[in-house]
Amino acid sequence: MDDFAELVERFLQAPKRCVNRSIRWRTGNHPDYAVARLRLLADGFEGYRTRVEMAAHLKRDPRKFQFALLFNNTRVLALDVGPARSHKNLLTGKSISCSHWQVYPLYEAEADDRTLTHRIWLDEFCKRAHIDLEAPYRQPPFDKVQLGLSLK
């Protein structure tokens, strides 16, 4: 294992805490998405850029979310909930079409077929990444579904 991979492994196991006082959702690169970034601190990793990036599709049903833990701009842990396309694992050749986790350096998809709310997925992500998320939870600004009224 190379030095960076060992450093990432130590970082993944290290306790982390979010320094944001709130979760702020903003429009993403595409108007159907909202994104939020959470800055992190981890003991022993003070000189590194560490953060969580979240994205949520605002209109799609079933819901689609993405969570990524970044270490110096390298995605080291990811969770893709409700993906639009299958992920093909290069080592096994198996396709995963449900929600899945990926971990540096192989990024082989690990299926997770649970149906959870955004809040519970975020909690699961933080638990796996050893993140203490003190910021009050704010869900993504999903579009409100309006019922159409027909006049007869």
**Cβ-contact 82, 96 below 8 angstroms:** no
**Nearest CA to 77 among 116, 145, 127?**
127
- As to burial, measured by CB atoms within 10 angstroms (0-12 exposed, 13-18 middle, 19+ buried), residue 117 is exposed
pLDDT per position as a tens digit, 27-73: 978 899 999 999 999 999 999 999 999 999 998 888 899 999 999 99
Reported as a pLDDT band with limits 50, 70 and 90, residue 4 is very high
150 pLDDT higher than 90: no
At 83 the pLDDT is: 94
The percentage of the chain sitting over the pLDDT mark of 70, rounded to a whole number, equals: 93
Confidence (pTM): 0.90
Average model confidence (pLDDT) across the chain? 92
Q: How far apart are the C-alpha atoms of 39 and 26, rounded to whole Å?
A: 15
